[in-house]
Amino acid sequence: MTLKLAVPNKGRLHEPIVDLLKSSGIGVIDRGARQLFARTNIPELEIIFVRTQDIPSMVSSGAADLGVTGHDLVLESGADVKELLDLDFGKAKMVVAAHESSSIESIEDVEDEVKVASEFPNVTRQYFEEKGIEINLSEVSGATEITPFIGMADLIVDLTSTGITLRTHGLEVVDTLFETSVRLIANPQSLETKGKRIEEIKRALESVIQAKPRKLLIMNVPEEKISKIKEIMPGMSGPTVSKVEGTDMLAVQSVVQAKEVYEVINKVKAIGAQDILVVPIERVVM
């Protein structure tokens, strides 16, 4: 039973997703520069390369069983899909912003008939309807941030990751609608009929994501210091300890958060740890 996975054919999400598939063991093979389909290392899984914004509707319709796209595009499309996994990249916020010279400093300052520009008309309408504010909406296909300068809009609704583009154009955030990132999504019917295979794909991707913030620390420790070492580096299920033959040393292995490696090394070194190795982890299967 073949599974079809829709992924972006180009753009900022394309390469990270292809890299994730490779790291997870799924891979992409036999794809030419203009091919829309590709095989993978899994015989029952086929990749479809399409526009990122089309993926929610493709998955909802059943043309693809799975897809990788932004949470913002799922909400904008209103597609009937199930979000299975946050892939932990492509993070951004959907915000309402006004020019710094505007009298609008918070959403409470916004009055009816305000002019709003956005590439996301559906989430924009829903947001202002929930706030009870009537708007004049202009749908644009890009360069939303310039619309206040040309008198087209008083407010914009757009994605921002660092906020640099907004600040460069003199815009300030008035409110945040939601946070977004790249998600693995599934067709609800496919989950019922192909659930086991879909869970295997999810697990493979998840194992790479779980490994990213972790490192494996390996070291030799004097036997009498092991209790102090255990207090410092408990690991995922406690450190693994084994005897170093012919010595009074113990070999200790532990998985730690990458951001804690610097501090942990300094602490264990002060206690007497030797021959410390920091090893990358490719995948973690819980």
Three-class SS of 247-266:
CCEEEEEEEEEHHHHHHHHH
283 burial type by CB count under 10 A (0-12 exposed, 13-18 middle, 19+ buried): middle
Kindly state the average pLDDT of the residues 38-63.
Answer: 95
Residue located via tokens 């090394």: 265
pLDDT in tens, 168-188: 999 999 999 999 999 999 999
With CA atoms as reference, report the closest residue to 94 among 136, 49, 57, 126.
126
To the question of domain 92-180 being in CATH 3.40.190.10, the answer is: yes
Is the pLDDT score of 142 beyond 90? no
pLDDT of residue 234: 66
Find the helix or strand (DSSP H, E) in which 4 lies: strand 3-8
Distance CA 256, CA 22 (A): 24
The pLDDT confidence band at residue 33, using thresholds 50, 70 and 90, is low
To the question of domain 213-280 being in CATH 3.40.1740.10, the answer is: no
Beta strand ranges found along 30-170 (DSSP E): 37-39, 45-50, 66-70, 82-86, 92-99, 114-118, 135-139, 155-160
Residue located via tokens 């010595």: 247
To the question of domain 3-90+181-211 being in CATH 3.40.190.10, the answer is: yes
Q: Could you tell me what percent of the chain has a pLDDT over 90?
A: 77
Kindly state the average pLDDT of the residues 98-120.
Answer: 93
Structural domain boundaries in the chain: 3-90+181-211, 92-180, 213-280
Record the pTM.
Answer: 0.87
Provide the CB-side half-sphere exposure for 220 (13 A, CA). Answer: 9
With CA atoms as reference, report the closest residue to 138 among 149, 159, 124.
124
Range in 88-97, 117-126, 235-244 with the lowest mean pLDDT: 235-244
Helix axes 195-211, 14-23, angle to 10 degrees: 100
Give the contacts of 65 (CB within 8 A, at least 6 positions apart): 3, 4, 5, 59, 186, 187, 190, 194, 198
pLDDT in tens, 157-168: 999 998 899 999
Alpha carbon 186 to its chain centroid, in Å, reads: 16
The mean pLDDT of the chain is 92
Q: C-alpha distances in angstroms, 78 versus 59, 120, 156, 186?
A: 12, 12, 21, 14
Alpha carbon 12 to its chain centroid, in Å, reads: 13
pLDDT of residue 227: 87
Reading the block at residue 171, the tokens are 């815009």
Q: Are strands 45-50 and 3-8 parallel, antiparallel or unpaired?
A: parallel
pLDDT in tens, 229-276: 888 876 666 788 888 887 888 999 989 999 999 999 999 999 999 999
Q: Are strands 214-222 and 240-243 parallel, antiparallel or unpaired?
A: unpaired
Do 92-180 and 213-280 come out as alike in CATH topology? no
